[in-house]
Amino acid sequence: MAVSCVRTSSEQEHTPKLDLGNSQSPLIFNPSMLNLQPNIPDQFIWPDHEKPSTEAPELEVPLIDLQDFLSNSSSPSATLEASRLISEACNKHGFFLVVNHGISEELISDAHEYMARFFDMPLSEKQRVQRKPGESCGYASSFTGRFSTKLPWKETLSFRFCDDKNSPNTVQDYFCHALGHEFEPLGKVYQEYCEAMSFLSLKIMELLGLSLGVSRDYFRAFFEENDSIMRLNYYPPCQKPDLTLGTGPHCDPTSLTILHQDHVNGLQVLVENQWRSISPNPKAFVVNIGDTFMALSNNRYKSCLHRAVVNSRSERKSLAFFLCPKKDRVVKPPRELLNSITPRRYPDFTWSMLLEFTQKHYRADMNTLQAFSDWLTDKPI
């Protein structure tokens, strides 16, 4: 969910500033080779206080049925109940599940199938779309070229989705141009998937608006023409899963995340200072708010720290759609959320500025938004 770059020393590793590695060639994350070794490289070993817990109890997450809300004959009572459940979740931890969401099982299945095909390709083929330093899209084998410590045990492919009539096929064009026309089927599937995620995101924004006492259309209108990010996550098995993490503890800097997990456990959320698990549900999407929406809500709804763990037996995959506003749209809360008791918590900013901050200056954690606000004092819009 990013002008000079900051590098941390070993004495500063408790700080969350970006660590861009050392002068040596970056480590190549090739799990099929690394898993032949008895131990994982030190760069993937996390500090003791951040190592995964052996057991994480299940988190009670509200299950929100959207069937009635999405229908043309939606009843006021169903809409009110859905917004109430979302408010309850966002006041506790910012995570909830949605079912009967209108996304076809076939499309979800195809998205998972093509993700498996991509990550099964030889490393050299995947590296054709290698993510460049300072950018948020492309292929990343762990983040070996970006960080030198606390590396995540994963591969990702990220690409942009633009809900703009002037750029109707952003995703499909990316796959064709970056990987070749033989990848057009992948592009078509992920284009359709992103369009479905964008539609669902805007409907959830209606419920978030209602839950905050703002008009139903306010946040929906704000995110029309969204400039979002789609990410395919692949977590290979790891011979030492108790030493590393698939994704480190962080809050999403984006606005809203819609995640679909495969059948393997891995997602954990920090609630009341305890890591708790959200088990996969093939019929449900996991939804959570991010830092940008926390700013839009004037801190009424807070983004929540979460992470992904790995295991020694099974690979794990997930599909993550990160809703982001149009890059030049100014992020500020609506007047309904401001008064003498609750003044502005964060300065005005654009998504492009927060994205630059997280990609070039700061490794996302639970303090990203506050650190970004402090950074803005030296870089006004």
pLDDT per position as a tens digit, 252-288: 999 999 999 999 999 999 999 999 999 999 999 999 9
Q: What end-to-end distance do the CA atoms of the chain give, in Å?
A: 20
- Which residues, in sequence order, are CB contacts of 77 under 8 Å at separation 6+? none
How does DSSP classify residue 164?
B
Mean pLDDT of the chain: 89
Answer yes or no: is pLDDT of 24 > 80.
no
CATH number at 142 reads: 2.60.120.330
Q: Where are the alpha helices (DSSP H) in 181-316?
A: 184-211, 218-223, 291-296
Average pLDDT over residues 86-111: 96
Answer yes or no: is pLDDT of 201 > 70.
yes
The two tokens of residue 270 are: 């920090």
Annotated catalytic residue within 131, 276, 316, 363: 316
- Weakest mean pLDDT among 65-74, 107-116, 247-256: 65-74
Q: Is 8 among the domain residues?
A: no
Answer yes or no: is pLDDT of 379 > 70.
no
Separation CA 262–CA 224 (nearest Å)? 29
Output the pLDDT for position 239: 93
Angle at 286 between CA 280 and CA 287, to 5 degrees: 170
Q: Is 84 among the domain residues?
A: yes
* Residue 167 dihedral angles phi and psi, to the nearest 5°: -135, 70
CB 139 within 8 A of CB 234: no
Separation CA 339–CA 97 (nearest Å)? 32
Output the pLDDT for position 2: 33
**CB atoms closer than 10 angstroms to residue 213:** 12
The two tokens of residue 103 are: 């996304």
Active site annotation includes 316: yes
Separation CA 16–CA 13 (nearest Å)? 7
Output the pLDDT for position 13: 36
Output the pLDDT for position 126: 94
Output the pLDDT for position 136: 87
Q: Is 261 among the domain residues?
A: yes
For residue range 143-196, list pLDDT tens digits in order: 777 787 899 999 999 999 999 888 789 999 999 999 999 999 999 999 999 999
Considering only residues 17 and 10, tell me which one the structure prediction assigns the higher pLDDT: 17
Output the pLDDT for position 62: 93
Taking the CA atoms of the chain, what radius of gyration do you get in angstroms?
20
CA 223 to chain CA centroid, nearest Å: 17
Count structural domains, the chain.
1
Q: Is 23 among the domain residues?
A: no
The two tokens of residue 87 are: 């408010």
Average pLDDT over residues 58-79: 89
Structural domain for 51, as ranges? 41-378
Q: Is 9 among the domain residues?
A: no
* Residue 36 dihedral angles phi and psi, to the nearest 5°: -80, -15
Q: Taking the CA of residue 61 as centre, how many other CA atoms within 13 Å lie in the half-sphere pointing to its CB?
A: 29
Answer yes or no: is pLDDT of 87 > 50.
yes
CA 101 to chain CA centroid, nearest Å: 19
Output the pLDDT for position 164: 84
Tally the residues of the chain: 381
**CB atoms closer than 10 angstroms to residue 379:** 12
Dump the DSSP string for 35-73: TTSSS--GGGPPPGGGSPPS--PBP---EEE-HHHHSTT
Q: Is 216 among the domain residues?
A: yes
Output the pLDDT for position 298: 96
Output the pLDDT for position 366: 87
How does DSSP classify residue 300?
S
Q: Taking the CA of residue 27 as centre, how many other CA atoms within 13 Å lie in the half-sphere pointing to its CB?
A: 22
Output the pLDDT for position 166: 80
**SS3 assignment, position 130:** strand
Which residue type, as a one-letter code, is found at position 122? P
Q: Is 35 among the domain residues?
A: no
Output the pLDDT for position 16: 42
Considering only residues 364 and 275, tell me which one the structure prediction assigns the higher pLDDT: 275
- Which residues, in sequence order, are CB contacts of 380 under 8 Å at separation 6+? none
Answer yes or no: is pLDDT of 360 > 70.
yes
Considering only residues 339 and 263, tell me which one the structure prediction assigns the higher pLDDT: 263
Separation CA 67–CA 28 (nearest Å)? 46
For residue range 204-259, list pLDDT tens digits in order: 999 999 999 999 999 999 999 999 999 999 999 999 999 999 999 999 999 999 99
Answer yes or no: is pLDDT of 23 > 50.
no
Output the pLDDT for position 25: 56
Which among 66-80, 132-146, 222-236, 331-345 has the top mean pLDDT?
Answer: 222-236
Output the pLDDT for position 31: 80
Q: Is 12 among the domain residues?
A: no
